[in-house]
A and B are shown apart, each in its own frame.
Chain A
């Protein structure tokens, strides 16, 4: 069966420090991969998505970046965190194509920038 792993679960980082969040999927190949952020009192905001190795689409210009070094690995990074980067980060995957298939989400990373 397919599973998605996301870590760490919780992270407290000082302003200006770097960030690396990792997401891996097991039990499938060629998934679409996504990074979403959920800020307090706001909805889910799509940050990046990837349809293949090295292919990254950015939805929101900001100081975050994403990479997909392997088929089932998706990494969210920042060189220098801002206070506004605090939030709940969720990774998700979906198969392509297939209207009968939806998204599966990881358990999320709570990031607090202090």
Chain B
């Protein structure tokens, strides 16, 4: 059974710092991996999706990498801003893609001005 772990559970950084959020998964036979952002009391907003054949994806100040063989993904946020404060969730989709997403518990990020 796939398990997804995110470390750290919470992170506080000063504005302007570059930071890395970690995600690990136990079964490397994934279909794709998706990073989401969740603001308090809100739904999930998709940030980046990495297909199993890809190594990384970039969107603005965000860069997500995938190392399937080691069961790891990282989300890199450059030049952090207070508006980046949110919970970041990693989720993997298995096999042929018909099985549902499995989520980590998230990393709660606070960027201090």
B44 contacts across to A, CB distance below 8 A: 90, 92, 103, 105
For the side of the interface on A, what is the size category? 20 to 34
- Is residue A80 within 8 Å, beta carbon to beta carbon, of the partner chain? no
Cα–Cα distance between A49 and B98 once the two chains are bound (Å): 10
A4 to chain B, nearest CB (A): 9
B53 contacts across to A, CB distance below 8 A: 99
Tell me which of B12-20, B70-78, B103-111 binds A: B103-111
Partner of A99, one of B31, B42, B91, B104: B31
- Is residue B8 within 8 Å, beta carbon to beta carbon, of the partner chain? no
Task: Knowing A103-B46, A108-B43, say if A43 contacts B103 (CB, 8 Å).
Answer: yes
For the side of the interface on B, what is the size category? 20 to 34
In contact, A90 and B43 (Cβ under 8 angstroms) = yes
In contact, B42 and A102 (Cβ under 8 angstroms) = no
Cα–Cα distance between A97 and B41 once the two chains are bound (Å): 31
In contact, B32 and A44 (Cβ under 8 angstroms) = no
Partner of A102, one of B49, B96, B103, B104: B49
Q: Which residues does A use to contact B, with CB under 8 Å?
A: 6, 32, 34, 36, 42-44, 46, 49, 51, 59, 88, 90, 92, 96-108, 110
Q: Which residues does B use to contact A, with CB under 8 Å?
A: 31-32, 34, 36, 41-46, 49, 51-53, 89, 91, 93, 96-98, 100-106
